[in-house]
A and B are shown apart, each in its own frame.
Chain A
Amino acid sequence: MTSENNINVMPGAIVCEESKLDGDITIGSHCIIHPAAIISAEAGPIILGDFCLVEEQAKIIHRLRPEQTNNETTPVLIIGSHNVFEIGCTVEAAKIGSNNVFESKCFVSNKVNVTNGCIIGAGCKLIEEQTLKNNTIVYGSKCFQREGLDRPVTQTAQMDTLSKMLPNYHHIRRPMKKDYLN
């Protein structure tokens, strides 16, 4: 849909140049986007909150559901803060809150609303229309759901290490100047 890419990177974010970013994307401060991560704003802008971690081969795709395509207004996919997208996950969820973990190779379709503190376990596929309650944990080959007591712990140590290591070995996309923001 979008021919030109309009990428806004907030200060403090580390976005590797090898990552594939298509469309109108805003990346919050202190986010880490690994090389070969794919963020594709097909249907409308994506706004990624602060402190998000998008690992290799993770795909975040803003894809419209068939019934929404005729609408005049273009919806914006707002992703909350402190989300972790692990290696090889594919996330097309319509709404994503904060503090969620999408584990390796999971798949979340665009009919799913993810609230806060959810964990989608490795390899789990969520296709059906549903809204995950706060702190829902999906796990196992049969996609069992249970409610956690608390949201998952934030991976601050991992983020710190990555923010030191990644710039040493990869080209980093320049964040926007602070004065430009103001």
Chain B
Amino acid sequence: MSYIILPDVVHYACTCGILKPISKLYFCRHCLELRCGFCVCHEADSHYCDKCAENLPSSEARLKKNRCGNCFDCPSCHQQLSTRAATVGPKNPDDPKAAPRKVFYLLCLLCRWSSRDVGIPDQAAVSGGWPERENIYAHRLQEIQDMYKAIVLSDKQQKLDKDKKKQRRYMSFTDRTGITASMLRKRIGWPDVPNPLLKAKPTELNNKAIAKEEVEEFPEDLLTSPVNLSLATTMEQRLVQPEWQPTTIDKLFPIHKHLSVKRSQRCRSCEHNVSKPEYNPNSIKFKIQLFAYYHIPEVRIITVEPLRAGKVSELLLKFSNPTQHQTSITLFPYKVDDVIACEDNRTEVISQSSEEKGSGSQPSSITHTSLTRQPSITIKPRPIKTRVVADVVVPNASFVLPPRDDAAEYDDSGDAHNIQNDPKIVVWRKSNKAVIKLQVTPNSDLNIGDEVTTAFTIQHIYINTITTVENKEPQKCEHKVKVFLTLGNLVGGS
């Protein structure tokens, strides 16, 4: 798409009030609203290593601390390390039959750091059994952690006991039915099953750290020995290994490559996915892709006459219909206050179908997950801050855009659609595209060089093909979207 490099001159107002180019918007087919990366709910879908493109189940990824077991990053420049083979002499050189052995080491192709630099022995297998390092404080910290767990747990237990004593006066539901085993045990006077962590009494005293009078001495050699900058590590090199934070380069060790994650996007109000990638890391396809680009008519600026304050300029816009259904487009002038006007303008049929959503018409997977989901809060849409400084005269009539037909691109025979054009509005037309002529007048109080932005609302007929239990037929509805055009800077003269 040309949008990646071109300046964004045509913006659509998302339902949340943020202006974005159409390529960055989603269109939820269930609520018939525009959504953007800000107002959808992102979810982590599948973990993969972007070097070896291996898919890891999330439990395994968690176990490996979100790192790939086989791939490494360079500790010096953070690029990927590649495994290199080298041949060394056989183990016992006297044996004439012994073939030379192959050994492997890791090498960075950017900064030429290699695992030999820090004295890691070469490995006999490609995948290596590269030595892993342990946190030297792990044992001590585990002790402390267990201790705190035990303390907090005994605290909690005390609180619970206190609460229970208070509750004695009332007959609780569990008392009447006598459900839990723990309740039963209490009843017959047996001691409650102690929590395994409670068994060990918090051994605070032995565990306390002891402060010392001595601190790290000043390294005297700093005063005399010259600094070799290439031996001291940079901040980035230190922080990429938080546990060790090496200060000299001879302590840099290869880092397991961090995994990446595929994300799916979910509409916040109806909880349907608007985008879901395929699990396979090699695939760039989507299972669900409700991009606005496939549903909303696209507007492009063809030309605009030089803009002068208070003078009328001609503006040519190209509209194209990306859907498989014919649509009709009506333009309305932009009003600042009609924030969620489209909400009310929906046809009867639509509001009915949206009511049905709650009544279990969805696939079982969705209803199942929604059980655990908490009620979503609707965030108020933000007011649009972009100032509109030019008026557009919108035509009263609407115009029709035929459905998209990929084959029509190669068809020179002319348009099959017999559409009566209003020559005052439509200047040019081909397959699903039409060029519209509009009059734009920048405000008279603008200065030369000011950026001119104009806006209008388009209403288009959207055919919703999602079928519900009651409505098997595709439904027609009108959808409105605000479009902002950055037309360029004001020029002077007459």
Contacts and interface: CB of A to CB of B under 8 A. Distances in A.
Interface of A: 119, 121, 137, 139-140, 144-150, 152
A148 B230 CA distance: 10
Contacts of A121: 110-111
B112 A139 contact: yes
A146 B113 CA distance: 9
A92 B317 CA distance: 55
B110 A140 contact: yes
B111 A149 contact: no
B110 A147 contact: no
A146 B250 CA distance: 12
Given A144-B77, A145-B230, A139 B110 contact: yes
A146 B249 contact: yes
Nearest to A142: B234
B431 interface: no
Interface residues of B, number: 12
A149 B77 contact: no
A140 B113 CA distance: 13
Given A139-B77, A140-B77, A146 B111 contact: yes
Contacts of A150: 116
Contacts of A140: 77, 110-111
Contacts of B230: 145-147
Nearest to A138: B111
A119 B112 contact: yes
A149 B110 contact: no
B76 A149 contact: no
Contacts of A119: 112
A144 B114 contact: no
A148 B110 contact: no
Nearest to B114: A149
B117 interface: yes
Interface string B69-83: 000000011000000
B117 to A, nearest CB: 5
Given A144-B77, A146-B230, A139 B117 contact: no
Contacts of B111: 121, 137, 139-140, 144, 146
Counting from the closest, the 5 A-B pairs by CB-CB distance are A139-B111, A146-B230, A137-B112, A149-B117, A148-B112
Nearest to B229: A145
A141 to B, nearest CB: 11
B112 A152 contact: yes
A152 B77 CA distance: 18
Nearest to B84: A153
A87 B114 CA distance: 25
Contacts of A144: 77, 111
Contacts of A146: 76, 111, 113, 230, 249
A84 to B, nearest CB: 14
A145 B362 CA distance: 61
A148 B249 CA distance: 11
A146 B110 CA distance: 11
B88 to A, nearest CB: 14
A70 to B, nearest CB: 35
Interface in B219-253: 229-230, 249
Nearest to B117: A149
Contacts of A147: 230
A166 B328 CA distance: 64
A32 to B, nearest CB: 22
Interface in B103-136: 110-114, 116-117
A119 B109 CA distance: 11
B238 to A, nearest CB: 15
Interface in B336-362: none
A147 B248 CA distance: 13
21 contacts: A119-B112, A121-B110, A121-B111, A139-B111, A140-B110, A140-B111, A144-B77, A144-B111, A145-B229, A145-B230, A146-B76, A146-B113, A146-B230, A146-B249, A147-B230, A148-B112, A148-B117, A149-B114, A149-B117, A150-B116, A152-B112
